[in-house]
Chain A
Amino acid sequence: DVVMIQSPDSLAVSLGERATINCKSSQSLLSSSNNRNYLAWYQQKPGQPPKLLIYWASTRESGVPDRFSGSGSGTDFTLTISSLQAEDVAVYFCQQYYSTPQTFGQGTKVEVK
């Protein structure tokens, strides 16, 4: 199974400041056939199901604010919130869909400092 490790486990950021979450996979998620990285990012608020933010490592889902961006390739990926808003307080998960079983990172809790 592909192991996904996120860092840090939690971070506190001031409103308006940048938040950066890292995700590392135990094997490359880059497909040589289509040059795409098989990685998605989700946001989960308390009592709610996860919400899709980004897929193909950097494609923002429709309706997701442009302060959310994804980057990286191969085994190292980053989710960046360029200017943290109060409504962004949540747990964020990465997920690989390169191989079965699809696996998730352990989650990163983002709070306001």
Chain B
Amino acid sequence: ELQLAESGGGLVQPGGSLRLSCAGSGLSFSGYWMSWVRQVPGKGLEWVANINQDGSDKYYVDSVRGRFIISRDNAKNSLYLQMNSLRSEDTAVYYCAREVSGRLGWFDPWGQGALVSVSS
């Protein structure tokens, strides 16, 4: 059973950068697309980005394209999200999740989430 755990969240000033990590344990996630999904506390869910098995194909939601970079290191069973030029509207809990059934699929499992707060 794959388990995911995010780290790297915290408080950052507008315009700053932060790098989130997601460590996978149990079954290797190298055979799956992986995604980042975020949630403003108490609000809805927004898919942010995903990446294919070998890291050669990536997709982003329009609001983060050009600012965020998704990457992975299968040797370390790890997924990353480099977040640059952060804005207040990026404040959210960020979840990593396995994307079942290819590039477009449902999400299972999810990590516990990492809170990112963008504020001066």
Interface residues, chain A, CB within 8 Å of chain B? 38, 40, 42, 48-52, 55, 61, 93, 95, 97-107
Query: Across the interface, do A49 and B108 meet the contact criterion of CB distance under 8 Å?
Result: no
Q: Which residues of A contact B61 (CB under 8 A)?
A: 101
Instruction: Give chain B residues whose Cβ lies under 8 Å from the Cβ of A104.
Output: 44-47
B104→A98 contact, CB < 8 A: yes
Q: Which residues of B contact A52 (CB under 8 A)?
A: 106-109
Total residues of chain B contacting the partner, CB 8 A: 23
Per-position binary interface string of chain B over residues 68-86, scored 1 when its CB falls under 8 Å from any chain A CB and 0 otherwise: 0000000000000000000
Known A-B contacts: A55-B101, A95-B106, A104-B45. Give 6 more (CB < 8 A): A49-B113, A50-B107, A55-B100, A55-B106, A93-B45, A103-B47
Query: What number of residue pairs across chains A and B have CB atoms under 8 A from each other?
Result: 55
Q: What are the residues of chain B within 8 A of A42 when measuring CB–CB?
A: 107
**Closest approach, in angstroms, between the C-beta of A69 and any C-beta of chain B?**
16
Taking the closest CB of chain A, its distance from the CB of B109, in whole angstroms, is 8
Residue B95 at the A interface, CB < 8 A?
A: yes
Residues of chain B lying within 8 A (CB to CB) of residue A49? 95, 97, 110-113
Given contacts A55-B100, A97-B101, A97-B104, A102 and B47 within 8 Å (CB-CB): yes
- Cα(A48)–Cα(B39), bound, Å: 12
Least distance between B41 CB and chain A CB atoms (Å): 10
Known: A49-B95, A49-B113. A99 touches B104 (CB 8 A): yes
Contact A102 B111 (CB under 8 A): no
For residue A45, give the distance in angstroms from its CB to the closest CB of chain B. Answer: 12
* Interface presence of B105 (CB below 8 A): yes
Of the listed residues A55, A61, A97, A107, the one surrounded by the most CB atoms of chain B closer than 10 A to its CB is: A97
Q: List the 10 shortest-distance A-B pairs measured between CB atoms, nearest first.
A: A49-B110, A40-B106, A52-B108, A104-B45, A55-B106, A102-B47, A97-B104, A101-B61, A106-B44, A101-B47
Question: Which of B45, B95, B111 is the most central at the interface, judged by chain A CB atoms within 10 Å of its CB?
Answer: B45
Residues in A neighbouring B95, C-beta threshold 8 A: 49-50
Nearest Cβ on chain B to A2's Cβ, whole angstroms:
11
